[in-house]
Amino acid sequence: MIITETTQNGISVVTLNGTLDALSCPEFRANPAVGDPGQTVVLDLEKVDFIDSSGLGSIVGAARKKRQQECDLFLACMNDKVRKVFEITNAQKLFHIFDDTGAAVEFAAMQQEACK
């Protein structure tokens, strides 16, 4: 799993490349932006080729922690494989999902502004 982190409009964009499963979850959780509950993050999932229940759990867990601090985790650019996992499990209901990272960043910045 390759994790890249950039910042746009004060929002961290974390791009995942590879498989998000039980093996790579600790690495994902250890990412500073993902692990920091006070940081709003846009997660770019375009290059995630597989996600299992542990990966899903890491994303849900990170989002829950962030929401406790009035921050959030937004999902962007899901490919069909990942989207189907979110849909089957009904996890899609927990997230705002965008097909474009830029739009997700704009929305996240707006939400963050509204919270202040």
Partner 1 sequence: MKTLLCIREREYGWAQEAFPAIHPLLLPLCNKPFVEFLIDFAILTGSTAIRLLCDGPLAEVERYCEDGRRWGIDLSFGSLQPDDSVPVLLGKNRRFCGDERIMVVSGFNFIRYDKRQEYARLIDGAPDGPFASCGDGGIILAGAPGTGTAAPDEAGISLIPLDSTASYYEASMETLESGAERYVLPGYGGEPGCAIGRNVVISKSVEIRKPVSIGDNVQLLGGTIIGPSAIIGSDVIIDKESSVSSSIVLDHTYLGENLEVSGRIASGNLLIEPQSGASIAMEDPHLLSGIRQDPVLAAFPRLLIHALVALLMIGLLLPPFLLLWPLLSLSGKWKPCPAEIIDGKGNGTIRLKTVSLPHHGALGTLAAALSLDRFLMLFRVLGGQLALIGSTPVSAEERGDSNATAMTAYRPGVFSYAEAEEWPGCGKSEDASIVERFHLAHSNPVTDIALFFKAYINRIQEKITA
Whole-number Å distance between alpha carbons of 41 and 12: 5
Build a one-symbol-per-residue string for 13-42: x at contacts with partner 1 by CB under 8 A, - elsewhere: ------------------------------
Using the rule CB under 8 A, is 11 a contact of partner 1?
A: no
Going by the DSSP 8-state scheme, the letter that residue 39 receives in this structure is S
Could you say which of 53, 79, 81, 113 contacts partner 1 (CB under 8 A)?
53
Residues 77-116 that bind partner 1 (CB under 8 A): 77, 83-94, 96-100, 102-103, 106-107
Residue whose CB is less far from partner 1, 36 or 52: 52
Per the DSSP assignment, residues forming a β-bridge with 20 are 51
Smallest Cα–Cα separation from 71: which of 99, 30, 33? Answer: 33
Which of helix, strand or coil describes residue 12? strand
| Contact call for residues 78 and 45 (beta carbons, < 8 A) | yes
Q: Which residues bind to partner 1, rule: CB under 8 A?
A: 52-54, 56-58, 60-61, 64, 77, 83-94, 96-100, 102-103, 106-107
